[in-house]
Amino acid sequence: MFERLKNSLRRRDLFSRSGLLSLSALLPSAAPSAPSLQLSTDIYSSLGVRPLINCRGTLTAIGGSIELPEVRSAKDFANQKHVPIQELMDKIGERLAQLTQAEWGIVTSGCAAAMSHATAACVAGGNPDLHIRIPNLEGFAKDEVIIPGHSRNVYDAAIRAVGVKVIEVDNREQLEAAIGPRTAMIYIFATERSDAGPPSFADVVRVAQAHKVPVMVDAAAEVLTIPSIHLQRGATLVGYSGGKVIRGPQSAGLLLGRKDLVKAAWIHSAPHHGYGRSMKVGREEMIGMLMAVEMWAKRDHEAEWKQYHERLDHIARQVTRVAGVTTSINEPRGLSNRSPSLSIRWDSAKLGITGQQVAQILDTTEPRIALGGAGGGRRRSQSGAEGDTGISITAYMMMPGDEKVVANRVFEVLSAKHTLPTPETLAKPQADVTGRWDVDIQFAAARSTHVVHLFQQDNRLTGSHRGDFIERDLNGTIGGASIQFSSLQTERHGDALSYRFTGTLAGDTITGTLDMGEYQSAAFTARRRS
């Protein structure tokens, strides 16, 4: 038996060695060299990613803001040595209190993280026994967060992630009825709507203070007023994004306010373990964010504002050389996204191009230019013209010299000859697609079947799109075998799901691509239900 075991081991050893030899024989002697990452202004291009001129503002999807030079230097110095993170945050808290006139402050990994940590502080108070159980709040004394209907938005997912029950209220009476011993916090999304209500900001603060309930204000995109206008008006905590107007690190934010709750929020943040570990903020971001606040207190904001207008004026002078193009400068209202923007409008029928098409051309050609949020499709103008369309340019993140490039490119596109396609100019449809279609969608790592009901009239399509949970209207066109239709789903808390199906008809089957906006794309196959 012993001999059989030795022989077996020898055979296994032989197979192992022969397998290694076979594998080594198959491997190439040296891997082909890939282009190296270039430490230069072409660093993105060396990776195959096209950089852009930012005329949209401080959107996270395109990188937020560009850090101040002082912020980059501070981060570089911070990276050269190690330091106890707890001691560092304590001292940063003191310094933020001095700079902002709040009781205390911490640096977070963005404003959404500040919202999560603030919620955790209000339900757990820094108690580790409770902390390690988040988001399972069973047995917690406080597990509810009240949110006025006007403050529901996509970002309140950061609050829901803590495990709290959200109670939505639409007036002061509902607020007074909802608040109680289980209320941990009231959340307000800072907009003009939160002032107007109902319930108004003042109403929320009065009711909250009467019940000793903290109020958290989400001021992510706002300028940093010193002292914070929200804390002055009675809020308990306020969160800011670091990578927007403050021009700190894109992956950083601020939580300011009542000292005990801000300190508790830090306990619920990384490097401490538990749910908040995934929201780590490094020493470089901490120092960089503090430097951004230091610089905010020193910057000449009036001179910056004048510079924004000069850039927009230059673009306006150039593009209005095209007959029929008009411009106007829009001044921001409120504290959020404070940057003037230039609205450029024209009649799409006369120029043969829509704002959406201009935006696509500028995004897909060189230099790549990302336009602001007011541009897009066609709409009825104040004069009643059906073809009024346009684009918008936000000045805040344009760098010196960008205005000349943008002005020339927009002028070139608008002054060129274009022909505007319409449903009436499409080819005759290959077939009538009216009816029910079962749509099989292959997502990144999952499949789902949606149901589409189409109604065809000439080249136009209308109908409905039933997703996994909700049904919504759709619109589209068909020309020859080419078909496209779109639907939009808007959730109460602000999430918007845009679906654009583009495919080819072959008998009772449509195959193509589903564009889901920020959620990228998927392949789909639709089959007619008899």
| Token pair in block for residue 426 | 């499409």
Q: What is the pLDDT of residue 14?
A: 41
Mean pLDDT of 233-256: 97
| CA-based nearest residue to 203, from 226, 168, 225, 175 | 175
Q: Which uninterrupted H or E stretch holds 271?
A: none
Cα–Cα distance for residue pair 80/377, rounded to 1 Å:
50
> CATH classification of 301-420, choosing from 3.90.25.10, 3.90.1150.110, 2.40.30.10, 3.65.10.10?
3.90.1150.110
DSSP letter at 423 equals G
Mean pLDDT of 321-339: 92
- Minimum mean pLDDT among 35-39, 295-299, 349-353, 403-407: which range? 35-39
Q: Does 401 have pLDDT greater than 70? A: yes
Domain ranges of the chain: 82-296, 301-420, 425-528
Q: Does 466 have pLDDT greater than 60? A: yes
495 pLDDT tier (thresholds 50, 70, 90): confident
Cα–Cα distance for residue pair 454/462, rounded to 1 Å:
6
Cα–Cα distance for residue pair 510/187, rounded to 1 Å:
46
Give residue-wise pLDDT tens across range 57-96: 999 999 999 999 999 999 999 999 999 999 999 999 999 9
For 133-161, give the DSSP string. Answer: TTT--TT-S--EEEEEGGG--GGGHHHHT
Mean pLDDT of 514-529: 96
Q: Does 21 have pLDDT greater than 50? A: no
Cα–Cα distance for residue pair 144/179, rounded to 1 Å:
9
Side-chain half-sphere of 80: how many Cα atoms within 13 Å? 5
The DSSP bridge partners found for residue 129 are none
- Give the torsion sign (CA, 294, 295, 300, 301): negative
If DSSP codes are grouped into helix, strand and coil, which group holds residue 389?
Answer: strand
- Minimum mean pLDDT among 101-105, 182-186, 256-260, 333-337: which range? 333-337
If DSSP codes are grouped into helix, strand and coil, which group holds residue 439?
Answer: strand
Burial of 383 (0-12, 13-18, 19+ CB in 10 A): exposed
Q: What is the pLDDT of residue 203?
A: 97
- Minimum mean pLDDT among 31-40, 79-88, 370-379, 481-490: which range? 370-379
| Token pair in block for residue 420 | 């505007």
Give residue-wise pLDDT tens across range 116-150: 999 999 999 999 999 999 999 999 999 999 999 99
Q: pLDDT > 90: what percent of the chain? A: 84
Cα–Cα distance for residue pair 114/256, rounded to 1 Å:
9
Residues 6+ apart with CB under 8 A from 97: 103, 104, 105, 259
Q: What is the pLDDT of residue 334?
A: 84
Mean pLDDT of 480-484: 97
The structure tokens 């100019």 sit at: 425
- How many secondary structure helices (H) and strands (E) does the chain include? 16, 21
CATH 3.90.1170.50 applies to domain 425-528: no
| Token pair in block for residue 162 | 């803590």
Q: Does 491 have pLDDT greater than 90? A: no
Residue 158, amino acid:
A
CB 65 within 8 A of CB 250: yes
Q: Which residues of 422-440 are buried (b: 16+ CB within 10 A; e: fewer)?
A: eeeebeebbeebeebbebe
Classify strands 215-218 and 183-189 as parallel, antiparallel or unpaired. Answer: parallel
Q: What is the pLDDT of residue 35?
A: 73
Q: To the nearest 10°, the Cα dihedral for 522, 528, 529, 530? A: -170
Classify strands 144-148 and 369-370 as parallel, antiparallel or unpaired. Answer: unpaired
Which range scores top for mean pLDDT: 33-47, 410-424, 502-516? 502-516
Q: Which uninterrupted H or E stretch holds 503?
A: strand 496-506
Q: What is the pLDDT of residue 379?
A: 44
Q: Does 27 have pLDDT greater than 90? A: no
Query: Is the N-terminal amide bond of 135 cis, ω within 30° of 0?
Result: yes
The DSSP bridge partners found for residue 451 are 438, 466
> CATH classification of 82-296, choosing from 1.10.3730.10, 3.40.640.10, 3.40.190.170, 3.40.50.720?
3.40.640.10
pLDDT averaged over every residue in the chain: 91
If DSSP codes are grouped into helix, strand and coil, which group holds residue 24?
Answer: helix
5 pLDDT tier (thresholds 50, 70, 90): very low
